[in-house]
Structure 1
Amino acid sequence: MKTVTVTENQKLKAAKKIKEMYGHIDYRNPPQWCPIRDVMAMASDKWSILIFLYLGYFPVLRFSQLKRYVYGISNKVLSERLKVLEADGYLYRQMYPEVPIRVEYQLTDFGHTFLEKLLELTEWAEKYGDKVIANRAEWTNK
């Protein structure tokens, strides 16, 4: 099992950043709408993450290609996720008036900025995934 060491300085920097970003929130009377939760929920569900990763790897994909790559997703859910990601500005959808109609998807520049952060989180998950699984198993066996 890998040992993770976090210095006191890292802890203090994180606490300071959180206070700078969210110090204005009165936690005795929390807001009904949380922009962080709203944005992160839309862009970080299990299907959207895979859509981002595949569109980051392949510059342009058609619906059927995405369906093949994002294993286990239904047509309905894929269509819904693509609409939400397009509405939020992460994706660009190009439809060609052909028979049959051809529709292609690609990340916007804005989508690429999110992909950069997602890749950082993905690297973290790869580095510490074994630790999470070991911690989970240890907790389950208590």
Structure 2
Amino acid sequence: MDKCSVAYTLSILVGKWKPLIILALSQEEILRYGQLKREIDGITHKMLSSQLKELEQAGIIHREEYPQIPPKVEYSLTEKGVAFLDVFNAMKIWGDRYASP
């Protein structure tokens, strides 16, 4: 097994919020910042902003900013982000098999 590939995948999953952001975006094609914040109970503005930036830098999400007043920003999963959902499916299968009832 390639340790570098596993480490890279884990870097996307690291943290409490990144998986929740990805899952929220998997439920809707496009979400605005405020919608994401409401979807993820307990996340702070600072944490959501930083996690979104990290996911954007990793190529998992796309950020579309519209030049208008008030500012409008939309987030969506990239093709790479949609492919990442396979990781969650594998985790679900493993969890279903081994989690205590």
Alpha-carbon distance in 2 for matches of 1:44, 1:125: 18
Q: State the superposition RMSD in angstroms.
A: 1.9
* Partner Cα separation in structure 2 for residue 127 and residue 98 of structure 1: 49
Q: TM-score, normalised by structure 1?
A: 0.63
Q: Offset of 1:127 from its aligned partner?
A: 4.4
Q: Confirm whether residue 37 of structure 1 aligns to residue 19 of structure 2.
A: no
Is structure 2 residue 66 aligned with structure 1 residue 90? no
* Structure-2 change in CA distance of 1:115 and 1:81 (3 Å): same
Shift of 1:43: 2.9
Q: TM-score, normalised by structure 2?
A: 0.86
Mapped to 2, the partners of 1:43 and 1:98 lie a distance apart of: 33
Matched, 1:120 2:93: no
SS at match of 1:46: coil
Letter in structure 2 aligned against 1:70: I
Rg comparison, structure with higher value:
1
Q: Which runs of 5+ in 1 are unaligned?
A: 1-17, 23-33, 132-142
Matching residue of 1:54: 24
Instruction: Give the number of aligned pairs.
Output: 101
Identity of aligned residues (%): 37
2:70 — aligned with what? 100
More strand by share: 2
